[in-house]
Structure 1
Amino acid sequence: MPSRRRLLSYGVGSVGTGIFSTVPGLLLLYYMTDTLAVPAGVAGLVVTLPKAWDAFFNPYVGAASDREAVRTGRRTHLLLLGAALLPLAFAAMFLSPATGSGAVAWITVAFVLAASTYALFQVPYVALPTEMSTDPAVRTRIMGWRIVSLTVGILVAGGLAPAVVDAAGKGRAGYALMGVVVGAVLWVVLTVSARGTRWVASRPGPEQLSLPAALRAARGNRTFFALLTAFVIQAAATAIMLAAAPYVATYRLGHYGLTSVLFVCLVAPSAVAVPLWGRAARRFGRLRCLLVATLGYAVGSAALLPVSAAANVPGTLALCAVLGICYAALQLLPLSLLPDTIVADTGRTGHTQSGAFTGLWTAGETAGLALGPGAYALGLAATGFASSTLEHPVAQTALARTGVLLGFSLVPAALMLVSLPALFAYARRRKETP
């Protein structure tokens, strides 16, 4: 069992990954449509295409991480490189000097760079738990530390970032200051984690597989792909809700400042719920608990439709807290199950391809997180949402305001239900009754 200091050093990296996974999904689309006057449909492409590139790029980073592990016995070099470059690219995303088409070009380039440098850290980082312990119970505990840290990062992102924007007067100045402040936080936590996990001895196998060979081997791991499919769908559902939060706060609840409050209510319960889900998983089984959380998130999301439509702020915040409890399980349990699929694959192929599998996993996660805001932006465009700048706001039609709300309620609920067949397929392939 790693010491608490080592667990904390590993976990703190998730503060950074939580920040980067959250802020672009929460604020970048809104920044473009309501500050830089980028049309919603175009803004949706901007937030989707860079992450689509990252989904392609991540497996290559995984293969490079395995090569580093074979050569040096560690994954530290890529971790440190990502920690150094990501904060710069992140800040650049919110420093656009132009509006309209100029802003589209600037943010697209900056976001591609940010997503790529994030992969340099995230892919080897996700591979580490498999190499920190061979005991599934210990790996679940490691994931508990990681998810608590991830929750802290998400809270920092969702609570601090919109508050900094609001305090600095919104507009370009507010987003620029937020980018610099959050970028500095990213640099600190990612560097601490990269240096604090140098003790982990990486063992990808007797010889590294090429990326094509790793992908061919992964195709035979149907258990892994069933779990990945469910996780990607659920990531898209939560990403849509995340992208919808500032729009719901502004156009349904009456004040942009409620974005931070909505987000804190959605995420803060996760910090308390993670250890509770861990204990429940040990008693009732991880997969059974994951199914309960998925259904709970679907029901809670659907309930937001009438409550938020009535501009019931207390009711909306209460439902978000319920969703936060379920969200903790949706983060903890799939990541706890992932190393099991990698270890099981070792017996089948003779190779522990942690980098290759986690490269595919993070590619899928990235795709889900990209599809969420992109799909939401298309929904806004389809319902006639009008983009604007802070200086020249535009009144939205009733149809557009309905489109704003659907992405916060019924769409995430439907996607959670769609993920259930993949979870049942995972159960069958593990020969485990959920």
Structure 2
Amino acid sequence: MALPAGVRRGYALGSVATGTFGTVPGLLLLPYLTDTIGVAAGLAGLLVVLPKAWDVLLNPVAGRLSDRAGVRRPFLLWGGIALAVTFALMFAGPANPVWVVLLFLACATAYAFFQVPYVAMPAEMTDDPAERTRIMTWRVAVLAVAILISGATAPLVVDVAGHAVMGLYVGVLLLAGSLGAYVGTRSAPRVGATVASGTLAAQLRVITEVPDFRRLLTTWVVQALGIGTLLAGTAYVARYVLGDPATSSLLFAAFVGPALLVTPLWARYAARRGKRVGYVVSSLVLVVGALATLSGSLVGLCMAAAVAGIGYAGVQVFPLAMLPDVAAEDARAGGASRAGMFAGIWTAGETLGLALGPGIYAAVLQVGGYRSAGEAQPDGALLAILLGFGAVPAVFVLLSLVGLRGYSLDERSPA
């Protein structure tokens, strides 16, 4: 069943919130702790990971609650409002690690109740795999814009007006995306089976026994580790390798910008070759781009980031289109919908991967002898900054493809 174009665009607006929250903390929170507050790199990495680890437990609960509620949209509204407010407060309060951790925990909680129902919706909005690909093409295009705008401008706002103003600015972006998705999907249909009964533990057990979901989830989580590590390294490469913190915005634009052009092309590739093949190919393109960042020059880094960005676009489109296929097939075979639970486990894995990424990068810095609070860095730290930004993410993305072997639900979308 094809959806009205307005519903596709309305749904995609939620990516303003997911893209912004998925990007800005990874770019700015670790440097804020190490270089503004003066927390040691290893401890800062732990502080960044802990609130996100909470979501690993919370997201399946949010999924089950949204399943039982029978509606998804109210979660978009109230979760989005809470996310925007708590993010702004995180940087508006005292420059204290305890305050930051507590507010980041609140942000993570609010985000769970927005993101999980949001991710669950495509499996219930249409029963057509081709339409789900079109939905994700719109979503990833808006995601690229959101990542580009938030990732490029948030560091500039910090440089010009400080962290408190940046927090307010990002809070406005989060609120706009949440409200946009809530309003834009008001006419979206809901198709599929009734909600599955049973306890949370029983539903978790059933879902984790779905082979295609296990394979897809494993790949997604390991790739999230690599992407989270890459994002965490952007500010450090700009400051210590290129010598200008402002170049972080340029690197980010080079990474995300190509997605605006190639996302529709990846969708066409899926129509011809299938989603799984497209996922593998785009992942390999991302690996090549990540390895090329070891050049260390501004021009070389920007070119490498552009190649990685082409792969990144596909790495977003394909798995996000494959997940609702898996959930819908499970509902068809079992006669009951568990879309919220699928989304809850999926986003828990994504959250864990993206949260551990900065922690892994911080560990690489620690091994390299990184000095906190903006001091001059030894050669070992400079090497660690580059390796953590390029080689480490490439290894994670390459290893992730092992998990995709045997994935069977690979329907091609008609052009």
8 Å CA contact 1:204, 1:353 repeated in 2: no
Indicate which of 279, 283, 307 corresponds to 2:268.
Answer: 279
CA deviations on 1:288-308 (whole Å, 9 max, x unpaired) are 111111112112211211x11
SS in 2 for 1:237: helix
* Counterpart residue identity of residue 293, structure 2: L
Task: Indicate the residue corresponding to 1:51 in structure 2.
Answer: 52
Aligned to 1:343: 328
Equivalence for 1:353: 338
Q: Which amino acid aligns with 1:376?
A: Y
- Letter of the structure 2 residue corresponding to residue 89 of structure 1: T
Q: Which residue of 1 aligns with 2:149?
A: 156
| Other structure's SS at 2:354 match | helix
Contact 2:26 2:358 in 1 (8 A): yes
Aligned equivalents of 2:154, 2:170: Cα separation in 1: 7
* 2:222 match: 233
Contact 2:119 2:343 (C-alpha < 8 Å) held by counterparts: yes
Structure 2 distance, partners of 1:378, 1:348, is 44
Aligned to 1:269: 258
Written as runs of structure 1 = structure 2, the 5 A alignment for 1:57-206 is: 57-69=58-70, 74-98=71-95, 103-168=96-161, 174-202=162-190, 205=194
Instruction: State the distance in 1 between where 2:159 and 2:62 align.
Output: 37
Q: 2:382 — aligned with what?
A: 401
- Give distance in 2, aligned partners of 1:298 and 1:263: 17
Range with greater deviation from structure 2 (342-351 or 1-10): 342-351
Aligned amino acid, residue 413 of structure 1: A
- Secondary structure of the 2:305 match is helix
Q: What is the aligned-residue identity percentage? A: 45
- Aligned partner of 1:171 in structure 2 is none
- Could you report, residue by residue, the CA deviation over 1:4-24 in whole angstroms, capped at 9, with x for unpaired residues? 221111110111110000000
- Over residues 311-330 of structure 1, what are the superposed CA-to-partner deviations in whole Å (9 max), with x where a residue is unaligned? x1111101101111100000
Task: With the length of structure 1 as denominator, give the TM-score of the two structures.
Answer: 0.91
- Specify the alignment match of 2:356 in structure 1: 371
- Residue matched to 1:288: 277
CA distance in 2, matches of 1:41, 1:368: 17
1:201: Cα distance to partner? 4.3
Letter in 2 for 1:365: E
Is the CA contact 1:155–1:264 (under 8 Å) kept in the aligned structure 2? yes
Contact 1:83/1:194 (CA < 8 Å) preserved in 2?
no
SS in 2 for 1:419: helix
> 1:281 and 1:382 mapped to 2: Cα distance?
41
CA distance in 1, matches of 2:196, 2:310: 42
CA deviation string 1:90-128 (max 9, x = no partner): 112223413xxxx22111101110011011110000111
Q: How many pairs align? A: 410
Q: CA deviation at 1:431?
A: 8.4
Return the alpha-carbon distance in structure 2 between the equivalents of residues 47 and 87 of structure 1.
18
Checking the alignment, whether the CA contact within 8 Å between 2:276 and 2:410 is kept in structure 1 is: no
- Which amino acid in structure 1 is aligned with residue 342 of structure 2? F
Residue 430 of structure 1, CA deviation? 4.2
Query: Is the 2:282–2:314 Cα contact (8 Å) retained in structure 1?
Result: yes
Q: Aligned equivalents of 1:142 and 1:319: distance in 2?
A: 29
Contact 1:131 1:200 in 2 (8 A): no
Cα distance, 1:116–1:218 mapped onto 2, change above 3 Å: same
Q: CA deviation at 1:394?
A: 1.2
Report the CA distance shift for 1:286/1:166 in structure 2 as closer, same or farther (over 3 A): same
Contact 1:13 1:192 in 2 (8 A): yes
TM superposition shift of 1:40: 0.5
Partner residue, 2:249: 260
Runs of 4+ displaced beyond 3 Å? 200-204, 206-209, 429-433
- Equivalent in the alignment of 2:238: 249
- Whether the aligned pair in 2 keeps the contact of 1:154 and 1:267 (CA below 8 Å) is yes
- Unaligned 5+ segments in structure 2 are none
1:324 aligns with 2:339: no
Superposition deviation, residue 345 in structure 1? 1.3
Structure 1 unaligned runs (5+)?
Answer: 169-173
SS in 2 for 1:217: helix
Report Cα offsets for 1:343-399 as digits up to 9, x if no partner: 2212443211100100000001001101101111111112211111xxxx4111111
Change (3 A) 1:397 1:207: closer
